[in-house]
Structure 1
């Protein structure tokens, strides 16, 4: 089935279309800036480099609706949306400035699958935003190349999380918490995610591995659980 989407591809690449690892080639897109599914398809875009809009369909693309996220989304770089089963969702974007390394992070929320959006919070992150992952509309995580921050109040405030790195690993080479990794809730009191660590000893010295981490305190601290698979630089 062919679906017609009433937007231009370049509208999805508005602003600075860069990740912390570099520019995204033409034909590739930032993770979770769009979704195509029978019951809910959507796209984040800007057709004028100022307003950020949300295009969505609930009928396999037969009809589309547009909603305004922000009237002042200039110098946008990182962007992402996440939705939950009850129709609530979070959309975030960062504002980049060529003069400083810090970025502004804007947080918007919806309770109706993106028909309407309201700005819930905003903050400044001291380095370029690398990944944002919300477990629910209240609990979310923001990472840079070196640090992981968490909020338990929908972004009203962020605190730095403590990530325990085993002695024979270190961060470096790739972003610690790299898209498409997400923080997931596996039980009432436990969160899981994958961090990328560089092995510093043994036969795998110098190789990068995805490592499973767990938290039992809503993301305030993270403990190493096990080494998973090797990660190539292109992944």
Structure 2
């Protein structure tokens, strides 16, 4: 859990949740086997499930759960020779008691965030691009993100944890992207910007500028 680029002693966001009804941790004991540890009785007892026996070179990892007990677990496999990463997805239908691999794909740049709206519709971001799947990860396509002329990507990740893609109505999704201001009195500053999509994440339109984001955030 604390290998790779994550400083010793730190837990990557969304690799654990602690609550009275459902607490869980993603971890590896040997940098190869990936486990999921969960408790549903306020920590009195814990159940350990093997997710993968071949989770080597893990860097990014995350799990999400939905109201019906289903969930998605994703991790990226990094290589020191290339900038692209493998993204491996797993699913559960029993609150993590058992896991099965869904699909795997290659992302051209290091993965910065994975966010699923439901078990079928999900998103993967890098520093500059956003990808979407509407078939549980069987395939990914690059989303079209319309950026106003006074902004550009760069400096920070386009879309990073703990941000999520959220469904605000039947036909509308929202997300918060980080953009660099290139004109006006705020030139050179980074801002969180609200984006919306009305076609299940295929295209995204700028809605409004939100708060300024400092580089260490």
Is 1:182 paired with 2:171? Answer: no
Question: What residue number does 2:99 align with?
Answer: 117
1:77 to partner: Cα distance: 0.8
Is 1:225 paired with 2:214? Answer: no
Question: What residue number does 1:108 align with?
Answer: 90
1:98 to partner: Cα distance: 1.0
Equivalent runs, 1:134-149 vs 2, <5 Å: 134-149=116-131
Partner of 2:183, secondary structure, is coil
> Taking structure 1 as the reference length, what is the TM-score of the superposition?
0.91
Question: Structure 1 residue runs of 4+, over 6 Å off?
Answer: none
1-structure distance, mates of 2:170, 2:75 = 29
Question: What residue number does 2:59 align with?
Answer: 77
Is 1:13 paired with 2:8? Answer: no
1-structure distance, mates of 2:152, 2:185 = 16
Partner of 2:7, secondary structure, is coil
1:201 to partner: Cα distance: 1.1
1:27 to partner: Cα distance: 3.5
Mind listing any 5+ residue stretches in structure 1 that lack a counterpart?
1-11, 19-23
Question: What residue number does 1:152 align with?
Answer: 134
Question: What residue number does 1:168 align with?
Answer: 150
Number of aligned residue pairs: give it.
217
Q: Structure 2 residue aligned with 1:89, among 66, 71, 83?
A: 71
CA RMSD of superposed structures (Å) = 0.9
Partner of 1:32, secondary structure, is coil
Q: Deviations over 1:7-65 (max 9, x none)?
A: xxxxx224x2x2xxxxx333332110000000000000011111100000000100000
Partner of 1:224, secondary structure, is strand
Q: Deviations over 1:90-131 (max 9, x none)?
A: 000011111111111100000000000000100011111111
Question: What residue number does 1:8 align with?
Answer: none
Mind listing any 5+ residue stretches in structure 2 that lack a counterpart?
none
Question: What residue number does 1:6 align with?
Answer: none
2-structure distance, mates of 1:126, 1:178 = 16
Question: What residue number does 2:186 align with?
Answer: 204
